[in-house]
Structure 1
Amino acid sequence: MMILNPATDTVAKNSFYSWYAATVLTLAYALSVIDRQILLLMIGPIERELHLTDIDFALLSGGAFGIFYAVFGIPLGWAADRFSRKWIITFAILCWSSMTIASGLSNSFTQLLIARIGVAIGEAALSPAAHSLLADFFPATKLPKALSLYSSALFIGTAVALIVGGGILTALTAGTLILPLALSPWRIIFLLCGILGLFLALWIMALREPARYGARSNGPNSPQPSFSLLHYLTENKTQGTALIIGPALIATVSFMDFWYPELFIRTWGWTIAESGQANGLSSLIFGPLGIICAGFWSSRLLRNGHHDSCLRLAACAALALGIASFLMPLMPTATSMLCLLGLSKFIMGFTPVLIPSAIQLTVPHHLRAQYSALFLFGTGAIGMSMGPLSPPLINSLIFADPMMMRYSLSIAAILISIPAWLCVRAGYKGKIA
């Protein structure tokens, strides 16, 4: 049964500041996504300069990155439940921005791997702390809308990385944009992203830390119950299946979009700029639409007393995403592939709103950031790692041909989406949210 957070007078009186804080946190999330997704357009240049394979690159962007992102998210979530969340986010941005700069100065696979691990550790601190902050800035019925704004950064950041980053990369490569740096274009991109993050950290420092309200809390900064996260997970196994395992499998399908820009390049002979613009616009338009739809739809259902709405919508999204992701790479034309790409991006926008909302509205307040970190552990250790890695692994085992990646993407999508749907469906069948 869902237990809603109290709508406090403090939240009501400071709604403008709450949305201001949500906007700043959204910018921080967007920057983290840019740092992560900018790699999508630089597969070829980095592989050629550092002599890497597709699997090496998948490890850089998915495997190693995802594992460290997931593992460090749990202790950092524990810290966010106990210490100042704005300072945790500030130091996190300083960490990942510094390591993004280090990525641009790397001269080998090992150096770049270490730098990307540093980025992963820094970014792991952001969302558990940000989700907890938003739950204390907003009452329960408005939380999905706030999380929809925050989660829109996932697609806005991707779009900026692909469109703006692709444009800058193309201009640097063609020589139409000249900077006083004797470095490869991909290295300059990393340096620019890292420097931008250092300035954003100063903005985060100026935010106010709200009182801790939350699910099953009796008031601001109320005493913490004695039971631990492990005890709570043991007593609520169905909830864990729906809110951790299911979303991790959904994320695996979603993170296969790492290969989508390269898919258009290999399948249709598009340039980096063409593929970047197409994929970027798809993320910019359809991803936020899906997030807004999920936020407003679930908020309306919650107001009407449908306490299981978040998981019901998430289960439907899991099944729809699997079908769209299976069909998209098989389309006979670039136009039809783009249409299904837009549909996939729209559906991808549901889970980043619905699952964090269900967590913040059902999990005890002293465990919220830790549970969010566990959710992100699943999306990182399983989704972020296996999403980029599973298609090239399937391709190497079955086809052994880079031009057959489209079929590997379809096989991976259908194999993973069905158990994802079953796991999330178990949650509302068990009436946990």
Structure 2
Amino acid sequence: MSNKVEAIDAAEAANPWELYGAGQRRTLLFILFLTGTSNYADRNVIGVLLEPIKAEFGVSDTMLGLLTGLAFAIFYVTVGLPIAWLADRGNRKKIIVWSLTVWSIMTALCGVAQNFWQLALARVGVGAGEAGAVPPAQSLIADYYPPEQRAGALGVYMMSSMAGYIIGMTAGGWVAQHYGWREAFLVIGLPGFLLAVAAHFVLREPRLQAGFAVAPEATEDARQSIKLLLAKPAYRNIVYALVVYFLMAYGALVFTASFMIRVHGLTVAEAGGLFGIMSAVGAVVGNLGGGKLGDYLAKRDIAWVAKFPGLALIAALPLYVGSFAMGSVALMIPLSLIGGILLTGAVPTIFAALHVICGSKRRAMAVALAFFFANLIGLGLGPVLAGAISDHMAQIYGPAEGLRYALMIMSLTFLPAGIFMLRAAKYLKSDLEE
């Protein structure tokens, strides 16, 4: 960072959100939504490309899990914490713009990989770039919007994860079906360059728009920030919940398109399109509805920002197990759709809870630290674990049924995730900082 940036008052007495009118907030949120969409499209397009990649390189499901999990997660979490430390002190807009440029380049490079290990190396680069996406974006949203509107705004932003998933699966699947999996990476990755230009000119950094005084917390090093966050029981339980949640929701579910292809006989384009439509409905209803419901419940009792996602996660378990057990796509869709609404509805309030208890000066670090553990263990090991279970079960039941049983087993992780969120609710009020 070349320019020293002043930090926001710890008590938020300056109210940075007052710098913007409602229309400008919507514009800023829309650009952040687009960057999030690019982030998740580039990350998730590989999910619909696993079967053609498997066929070309002749690798096992465990290796596919390594490609989608650890290869992405290692640098994602390694780079994420120092970037978050910078985001809590510096120019968050610049971090987002440069990160967007890097992950777009690396996604396009996935399309020119000539062997499995070159593809894995490019995925490492995607992870390193995307490490600078979510923490600074959520931190900016928390400055753009007052506390009583944050869950709703975060719900809109988190919907970008599903929007990106939809684009990655549908567009990526269609391009792969008609032109090849390499071309799919190029089509998904290259538009990020144009978006980076738009983000550079449209996004605003509140720390540069007003003369905020330097706060004591600005002198904290990363270790001090981490120590203070982990001292909070509510924060620890939210992190535990995210770790277990990510094992399935952001880990093993990468095999859903492969499941539809192997078990139900869909083509790559059909699987990507169907799962994209299901994700679209789940994203709109879940993220927007969950964010609004979270705001409403929090006004009655702030502990509901943790209780609500806990109950939603537990309710999703039987729906997902049942969806993978069904014998046809027609029976699978309604169960998976309702389960997806519950999962995506839980996400905005989980992160609203983080922002409530972390304090204004540690927002990016709070998100990045949670993502460090959730992505390293959940996203990193979730696909590998699902792939290993699938390979083991395939020796007994065949590759199609082996994957079915693997996804059913992995769905059980939603129960402990929900329990951890309910435990977080018990400590939330005592951990409040603002």
**TM-score by shorter chain over 0.5:** yes
Within 2, Cα distance between the matches of 1:288 and 1:232? 35
Please show how residues 67-86 of structure 1 align to structure 2 within 5 Å: 67-86=74-93
Give, in angstroms, the shift of residue 50 of structure 1: 2.5
Q: Which runs of 4+ in 1 moved over 4 A?
A: 3-7, 219-222
Residue identity opposite 1:123 in structure 2: E
Which range moved further: 131-140 or 243-252?
Answer: 243-252
| Counterpart in the other structure of 2:404 | 406
- 1:184-223 CA-partner distances (Å, limit 9, x unpaired): x21112122222111111111113434359xxxxx94551
Within 1, Cα distance between the matches of 2:313 and 2:68? 23
Residue identity opposite 2:354 in structure 1: I
Residue identity opposite 1:279 in structure 2: F
- 1:13-58 CA-partner distances (Å, limit 9, x unpaired): 5221111111101111111111111112211222222332222111
Within 1, Cα distance between the matches of 2:20 and 2:105? 38
Which range moved further: 245-254 or 88-97?
Answer: 245-254
Within 1, Cα distance between the matches of 2:288 and 2:342? 11
Give, in angstroms, the shift of residue 347 of structure 1: 1.5
Within 2, Cα distance between the matches of 1:62 and 1:312? 29
Unaligned runs of 5+ in 2: 1-9
Instruction: Check if 1:338 corresponds to 2:338.
Output: no
Among 245, 250, 257, which residue is 2:245 paired with?
250
| Counterpart in the other structure of 1:284 | 280
Change over 3 Å in CA distance of 1:392–1:231 after alignment to 2: closer
Among 25, 31, 37, which residue is 2:38 paired with?
31
Residue identity opposite 1:110 in structure 2: W
Within 1, Cα distance between the matches of 2:347 and 2:17? 27
Residue identity opposite 1:248 in structure 2: V
Within 1, Cα distance between the matches of 2:16 and 2:305? 26
Q: 3-state DSSP class of the match of 2:45?
A: helix
CA contact (8 A) 2:51 2:258 kept: no
Give, in angstroms, the shift of residue 403 of structure 1: 1.6
Among 184, 187, 201, which residue is 1:189 paired with?
184
CA contact (8 A) 1:90 1:205 kept: yes
Instruction: Check if 1:140 corresponds to 2:153.
Output: no
| Counterpart in the other structure of 2:424 | 427
| Counterpart in the other structure of 1:269 | 265
Residue identity opposite 1:324 in structure 2: L
Change over 3 Å in CA distance of 1:41–1:231 after alignment to 2: closer
Change over 3 Å in CA distance of 1:138–1:36 after alignment to 2: same
Q: 3-state DSSP class of the match of 1:105?
A: coil
| Counterpart in the other structure of 2:360 | 365
CA contact (8 A) 2:91 2:205 kept: no
CA contact (8 A) 1:6 1:139 kept: no
Residue identity opposite 2:414 in structure 1: S
Residue identity opposite 1:258 in structure 2: V
Instruction: Check if 1:224 corresponds to 2:216.
Output: yes
- 1:212-240 CA-partner distances (Å, limit 9, x unpaired): 59xxxxx945513366223313431x123
Instruction: Check if 1:64 corresponds to 2:67.
Output: no
Among 378, 386, 389, which residue is 2:381 paired with?
386
CA contact (8 A) 1:141 1:299 kept: yes
Change over 3 Å in CA distance of 1:10–1:351 after alignment to 2: closer
Please show how residues 102-141 of structure 1 align to structure 2 within 5 Å: 102-141=109-148
Within 2, Cα distance between the matches of 1:106 and 1:22? 35
CA contact (8 A) 1:136 1:212 kept: no
Residue identity opposite 1:49 in structure 2: E
Give, in angstroms, the shift of residue 340 of structure 1: 1.2
Instruction: Check if 1:54 corresponds to 2:50.
Output: no
Within 2, Cα distance between the matches of 1:90 and 1:421? 35
Give, in angstroms, the shift of residue 324 of structure 1: 1.9
Give, in angstroms, the shift of residue 276 of structure 1: 1.4
| Counterpart in the other structure of 1:205 | 200
Change over 3 Å in CA distance of 1:221–1:277 after alignment to 2: farther
Residue identity opposite 1:74 in structure 2: L
Residue identity opposite 2:226 in structure 1: L
Change over 3 Å in CA distance of 1:242–1:70 after alignment to 2: same
Q: 3-state DSSP class of the match of 2:69?
A: helix
CA contact (8 A) 1:394 1:412 kept: no
Unaligned runs of 5+ in 1: 173-184, 214-218
Instruction: Check if 1:41 corresponds to 2:48.
Output: yes
| Counterpart in the other structure of 2:6 | none
Within 1, Cα distance between the matches of 2:16 and 2:95? 27
CA contact (8 A) 1:156 1:288 kept: no
Residue identity opposite 2:399 in structure 1: P
Change over 3 Å in CA distance of 1:208–1:198 after alignment to 2: closer
Within 2, Cα distance between the matches of 1:257 and 1:162? 12
Q: 3-state DSSP class of the match of 1:106?
A: coil
Please show how residues 299-378 of structure 1 align to structure 2 within 5 Å: 299-304=295-300, 306-378=301-373
Residue identity opposite 1:308 in structure 2: A
Residue identity opposite 1:326 in structure 2: V
Give, in angstroms, the shift of residue 318 of structure 1: 1.8
The TM-score normalised by the length of structure 2 is 0.89
Within 2, Cα distance between the matches of 1:166 and 1:431? 43
Q: Please provide the CA RMSD for this pair.
A: 2.2
Within 2, Cα distance between the matches of 1:162 and 1:431? 37
CA contact (8 A) 1:287 1:348 kept: no
CA contact (8 A) 2:65 2:385 kept: no
Change over 3 Å in CA distance of 1:9–1:131 after alignment to 2: closer
- 1:84-127 CA-partner distances (Å, limit 9, x unpaired): 00100111011111111211111111211111000001001110
Within 2, Cα distance between the matches of 1:246 and 1:148? 18
